[in-house]
Each structure stands twice: as C-alpha cells, then as structure tokens.
Structure 1
C-alpha cells in the first residue's frame, strides 16, 4: 500500500504547487507579451521605414536608412528574397536573423531588410530572466513551505504527542487557543474525560457486582455441600445436589475472573499455568449440552501445554468457545486441538453466515441463527475482551464443508510430552 503524505508534506506541497502555477502563468503571459510587443514594434517600425525608403528611391533620392536597415532593388536583392512573394517575411540571411518587406513597383522589386539580432538577444535575456525567476520562485516556495508547515503543524504535533502519551485532559496543549487547534484540543479533552469516566464506572460496576455476588454464591456453595453430605445415601438426590455444588463453584470462579477483568492488565500477575487441565475441565462442564446428540467429543493433545495466564481468565475464553460449539452442533464432531502456543476448537455444525462473521466479536451480536439457542449475544464478545486483556489472539477460520474453527494463539512456552 502506497504510504500517504504527512500533513506537513501536504502543506509544503501546496506551497510548491501554488508557486509553480503562479510562476508558470506569469512566465507564459510575459513571454507572449514580449512576442506581441516585439512583433508590433518591428512591424510598425519596418512598415514606416519601408514607405519612406522606397518613396525616396522612386523619387531618385538617396534613401537615408538606419544603421540596421538596408534597402535593395532588383539584382541587389539576394536570391533567397527574390523567390518570395511580396509582403513581410522573417528569415535568416547570411547567418543573420532578419525581417524583410518586399514590394513591387513599376516592374521593379524593392526589398527593405532589417537585422533583428539585437532584438533576439534582448528576447533571450528576457527569457533567461523569466526562467531564473521561475526557478527562484519554486526554491522560495520549497523553503517557505517547509518553514510554514513546521510552524503550522507544531501545535498539532504537540497535541498528538500529548494524546499518545495519555496525558490528562488538563495537560493537553493549546486548550486556551481560540483557533481551530484550540477547538480540537478542547474536543480531545472532553472526549478523554468522558472515556475515563466511562472506564471508571465500568470498572467500579464490574467490581461491585462481582463482589456482591461472591457472598450469596459462597452461601449457595456451602449449602450445596451440606445437602450433598446429607443425601449421600440417596444417589438420585445426591447427583442433583452435587450438580448444584459444582455449578455454584464454577460460578464463583467466573465471578473471580470478572474481578480480574476489572483490574488493569498491567497489574495482573500471570503464573505459568498448565492448560491441559483447564481444557479438560471446561469440556466436562459443557458435556451435558450434548445429551441426546450423536457427536464425537475429542481432545487431541500429546504434550503438556503451558502459558503465562491466570487460570480463571483462560477458563472463560476456552469455556465460551466450547459452549458455543456444543450449542450449535447437532451431529458430527467437536474437536479441541491443544498444542504449543495454540488452542483450536473446531465443530462440524452448520457454520456462521457472512453477516455474523463480519461483526462476530461485537457485543449483542448472536453467534448464529438457531432459535433454540438464542442468547444475549455476549459470549464471543467476552472471549475477545478477555483475549485482548491477557494478550492472546482469537480468530475464526473457514472450515471446508461447513462448521466453525476458532483458533486461540498465545506466546508458546516449552512443552513436555504426555503419556
């Protein structure tokens, strides 16, 4: 892709183009004016002289011709002029540029010849002056363009640098300026304040909600453990109580993960985490969604894969992708491929329409068009948000024959073979 010119270069180029245009127009007009003046002066002067000189010859007088003008008659006229019709002519005689007027009177031919080498020399000087002026104008335009561009761009560059440094809204330059730069700086300051307030509200909301949910979840988890212990001799009821306990525990983990998302990414620690156990746990969590379906549910991994990540956040990403695959696959297979620096979740479902693919990771965009599984449209947007938060990459790839394939990429760490 061809790089675009900077604003400074655009301003300098505008100066140069303006100078070239004005100088070109001025030079062309000046040259045409010189030519017109030259022709008019020579024609009028030569016509007046011709009448006087030929008149003197016709009266038998000796013509008094100027030094640069000669009057010739019949045989004295050079052969080159003899062949020309009567009238005014411009030609070269004996290596000299001349203007000549030919007239016929009483069977004789008269020629008045004026040398114009001096005029041509003057014209050359004028043309050289115009060319020099053109070159100087362009050079001045380059210098003035660069200086003016630097001066004009300085406030914009300072403002851009402050924005890039994430300077506070009160630290932005040109806030009190009354020109367009001041308007832009105040708009940036206002927008920065709004974004900071929004981010602060979002972090506080996420933290407060997660904190408030921990207490009731803890109560639910404790009650479920007590209930499971009391129903140990009743298998059917025990399974229900155990499921309640497991879901409460998993929800508590998700709440803890939301608390981590409320913190700045640079403040999070990233322990070396084995992803194999997380993937297996998430696969078991969503296995109930496959009841009544003929689906091959496989984990393909021959090595222990580790990554620097909080287990709760890795579980959110992998779990949402697995839930998406389990909900939208009615038959075929769901495969999870775990390797160094990569987790692949692939299913043989009906895939996603193009309109969904284009906005897949936006909030409130549903992952498919299956009425039975309509959700809030937040699953994959959360996946994207968490991945960006921890520095992972998530992308959707096309699967030949239908289905979806999500690929999670992260910095690879040394792996060990598993039996």
Structure 2
C-alpha cells in the first residue's frame, strides 16, 4: 500500500494541511496588523511634530527635527517623494552615511496647505527620541517569537491529535476487516451496532449469505450433473468395450466402436476435471504429474483432427518434467490448446515445447484477429481471422484454460506469430521438478 492510500494517512495529512492553513492565516493577520500599527504610530508622531513646528516657527517650506523627522511643504519636497507620496504611510530605502535606512513618508493637508511628512528610522533615534515606537518594536519581536512557538506547538498538537483520532476512527474498520477475514461468527458480533460499521457489517453479511447460497447451488448442480451423467457414460463405455471385443480386428465398425469408447472416456475425464474446478484449490491434492506423458497422450488422442491434413506435430523436450498438479486439470488445459492448434491449422506444423518454465504451443494456423485479443479468454468468443463459422467450436476452450490457470495460480500468455498462427504459453507458478528419463519411463 502506498504512503497515502490508507484512510488513517489521509486523515493525518488533512489535519496537517488544516493546521498549516490556520498558521499561515494567523501569521498573515499578525504581520498585517503589525505593519498597520507601526504606520499609525509613525503617522501620529509626525502629525504631532507638524503641529508643534507650525506653532513654533509658523509656515515654513521645511521643518527639521532632531529625531530624523523632516517635513516639507509639498511643492518644495524632493520630486521622488512628490511622485510617490499618498495619505497612506509608505516606506522606501535610502542610503545615509553609507548605510541603508528606512524612510517613512505620507502627505497631509493642514490649514489649507499640503505637506509631505518623512521619518528616517534609525535604531538609536527610535530608542531615544520615539520611545512609543521603540516599545512597539520590542513587543513586536516578543510577539514574533511567541507566534513562532505557537506555530510549532500547533503542528505538534495536530500530529498527536491526528494519530489519536485517526486510530479511533479506523479502529472499527480494522475490527470489521479482521471479522470479515476470520469467519462469520466474528462478523455477527458487529451486526447490532448502530454506527456505519454496523451498516457495513450487515451489508457484508447479507452478501456473504447470498454468495454462500450461490456457491452451494453451483456445487450441488455440478455434483448432480456429474452423478447423472456418469451412469449413462459407464454404460456406454462398457457397451463399447463389449462390442469392440466381439468385432473382427479388421472390421471398420471396430474403429467406430473404439472412437465411441474414447469419446465416452474423454467425457468422463472432463466431468472429473469440472468437478475439481468447482472446489477450492485447498481442497485438492496436487500429486507429481509427468508433463511429457500428459502432452504425448493428448497429441495421440487428438491426432484424428490432423489425420487428413498436411499438418505435422512435434514435441520438443530436453528432459522429462513434472509439476505438482492434478493430472485431470493439466490434461484439460493442454488438451484444449492442442485441440485449437490442430483444428485451426490447415497446413504447416504444430510445435509443442516443454521446458523448466513453460509449456509452449505454436501453430501455423489462421491466427486470431487483433480486435479479439482483449476478449480472447472470454466465454463464447471465437477470434479466427478466416471464416470461423466454417470451423466447429463453441468458444469455450480458451476460457476453460484460463479458468484452470487461475485455479492453479499459473498464467496463460498469448502472442501472434510474425509468419502467421498463434503461440500460447502456460507459465508455471510453482517450480517444475525435473526428472530423469528412467523415472519418466517408469511412470
């Protein structure tokens, strides 16, 4: 799971973002208020000095005070100040004795005359000549330190509170998760809760009951069908064996009887494999099954599909291999792939390669339309490039193979061949056990 995919992480992140927004807001308010308070103090001091200068010296073009205050009649003020001065206190940086200082200035109308009032802020001047501003700047520094401490403390509290509250919020969800993962008895203890967890528990319990009912019906249906089919198949197999034994060896009817016997036996094996697919993988044992013998048997069984075609089949294997898998499931999976390769190849070759990682079936047949590739393993989908209606098939073969792969935890891969045809690979999840030829022959 990624860092911020869980609810608790998102909850904690939202607390931190909310705290950051609040801190930025309060800091902005503090600086805004501080700037305006300083402007008001400077303005009141300069207005006081203007009144005092007019009282003492009358109307003059320029008044100067020892505290860095200069008052100009507007038309005699420096041009730069005339261009920038408004009734709001402003600041510019000026160079005095090689040092940069802040110059505060604004305009004011008094007794019909307009003035520009300026104040050159210097530390010693502020402390000695303007104690109110000095006190304000002292308190401003204290407030700034306090504000910084408050911001740090707010983040610490937000982190602590977010962890505590996120745990309290997600705890019922974790209890629900554990109850769902264990059994329905643990889930039933949450059904009576009036909270959202109780609602979720009731919905999950209802879905579980419907799913269990559906699975039970499917298992009963599969079991009933297999039971009902086995009896007539057993009769057909027995009758075919008796009939085959009574016919002459060179009789044409004997070949038809053998085909009936093989088809009935194959159908019985399919029923067995479908019964296994209806069970969970944990309910099935997984004996060591010889891959080579299963594939050889399937090639021989399906040889009739290419008996009247110019198609050859080759099995390539450096060694004999085995896998821990039910032979019925492996037979159905590789049998469907080989059957498709034989059925959809009119001329050329079908190559089956067995190695330590893959069972690969390559054919030179009609191939699969590119538009059907995303739906290749869906039920009732047939994707031949040529006229597929002329070739028998239900569109279930690859979907059954895919279902077996999912059941076994293996993977099925497809890729088109550059020269035409298809390549299907069965990739083993569990390691193949390589065996020697003697062991294979003994099997």
TM-score range, shorter chain: 0.7 to 0.9
1:129 aligns with 2:146: yes
1:30 is matched with: 30
1:157 is matched with: 174
Residues 290-301 of structure 1 correspond to what in structure 2 (within 5 A)? 290-301=306-317
1:257 aligns with 2:273: yes
Contact 2:63/2:71 (<8 A) preserved: no
Which string of whole-angstrom CA distances, capped at 9 and with x for unpartnered residues, describes residues 373-409 of structure 1? 3533221121122223234332223433232111123
2:213 to 180, 192, 197: 197
CA distance in 2, matches of 1:333, 1:381: 24
Helix, strand or coil: the match of 2:171? helix
Task: Point out 4+ residue stretches in structure 1 off by more than 6 angstroms.
Answer: 72-84, 86-103, 109-113
Contact 2:366/2:420 (<8 A) preserved: yes
Structure 1 residues 174, 33: CA separation in 2 closer, same or farther (over 3 Å shift)? farther
Structure 1 residues 4, 332: CA separation in 2 closer, same or farther (over 3 Å shift)? farther
2:158 is matched with: 141
Contact 1:98/1:117 (<8 A) preserved: no
Helix, strand or coil: the match of 1:217? helix
2:113 is matched with: none
Structure 1 residues 33, 102: CA separation in 2 closer, same or farther (over 3 Å shift)? closer
Q: Post-superposition shift, 1:125?
A: 2.0
Stretches of structure 1 lacking an aligned partner (at least 5 in a row): 60-71, 104-108
Q: Which moved more, 1:236-245 or 1:360-369?
A: 360-369
Q: How many residues matched?
A: 404
Structure 1 residues 110, 353: CA separation in 2 closer, same or farther (over 3 Å shift)? closer
**TM-score where L is the length of structure 1:** 0.84
1:373 aligns with 2:355: no
Contact 1:344/1:407 (<8 A) preserved: yes
Residues 145-224 of structure 1 correspond to what in structure 2 (within 5 A)? 145-163=162-180, 165-168=181-184, 171=187, 174-224=190-240
1:385 is matched with: 403
CA distance in 1, matches of 2:269, 2:257: 19
1:404 is matched with: 422
Structure 1 residues 169, 317: CA separation in 2 closer, same or farther (over 3 Å shift)? farther
Q: Post-superposition shift, 1:412?
A: 0.9
2:47 is matched with: 47
2:12 is matched with: 12
Q: CA RMSD in A?
A: 3.6
Q: Which moved more, 1:30-39 or 1:46-55?
A: 46-55
1:266 is matched with: 282
Contact 1:203/1:262 (<8 A) preserved: yes
2:243 is matched with: 227
